[in-house]
Amino acid sequence: MPTKSKPATKKVAKKAAKKAVKKTTAKKAVRKTAAKKTTAKKATKKVAKKTATKKTAAKKTSAKPKNKKPLVLASNEKSFWVTNGAVLNSLLALRDALDEMEKEVYSYHVSKEHNDFANWVDIVLCDQECAAELKRAHTPVKAKTVVTRHLKVYSV
């Protein structure tokens, strides 16, 4: 019987070798497809990133107005006289004054019943959008934010 067991062992060994080869080949194929997928994902991300960058660049340029409006300067007779002695003749002057303005001075000119700054910006400086937002600003900080945002429309 020893002679028969050797060929059977050889057959088993051959089968085992074939299985091992199949497994390693399958593993290599899986690794290759995984590598291809990873490479494809990276390439897709790069393309998406470039596209997103182009879109944001396009948005930034389109958001800026091409022709900025000239800044309106009020004459001496139409300038705004603040109770602390400051005289304002433009939105720039209003922004700078709001930066240093005390709450008491601001509340003198702005209350629930009236808003002197908004009225002046609307009537004298002819900026209705800024005036409408100033009416909703209840603190000097919020008013300064509104004025600063609207100054971007003007050529300063």
Residue 62 has a pLDDT of 46
Of 23, 38, 64, the one marking the end of a domain is: 64
Residue 142 has a pLDDT of 95
Residue 146 has a pLDDT of 96
Q: State the total domains in the chain.
A: 2
Residue 114 has a pLDDT of 94
Looking at the fold, whether 54 and 74 belong to one and the same domain comes out as no
Of 64, 89, 105, the one marking the end of a domain is: 64
Residue 156 has a pLDDT of 76
Supply the range of the domain harboring residue 149.
Answer: 69-155
The number of beta carbons lying within 10 Å of the beta carbon of residue 8 is 9
Looking at the fold, whether 89 and 140 belong to one and the same domain comes out as yes
Residue 115 has a pLDDT of 96
Looking at the fold, whether 3 and 25 belong to one and the same domain comes out as yes
Give me the helix-helix angle, 128-136 and 140-151, nearest 10°.
160
Question: Whole-number mean pLDDT of the chain?
Answer: 79
Looking at the fold, whether 22 and 83 belong to one and the same domain comes out as no
Looking at the fold, whether 73 and 149 belong to one and the same domain comes out as yes
Mean pLDDT of 57-69: 59
Tens digits of residue pLDDT in 73-102: 999 999 999 999 999 999 999 999 999 999
Looking at the fold, whether 122 and 77 belong to one and the same domain comes out as yes
Query: Please, are residues 134 and 115 in contact by the beta-carbon 8 Å criterion?
Result: yes
Tens digits of residue pLDDT in 28-56: 665 666 556 665 566 556 655 665 555 55
Of 22, 45, 64, the one marking the end of a domain is: 64
| Paired tokens of 43 | 């390439």
Looking at the fold, whether 60 and 82 belong to one and the same domain comes out as no
pTM of the predicted protein model: 0.57
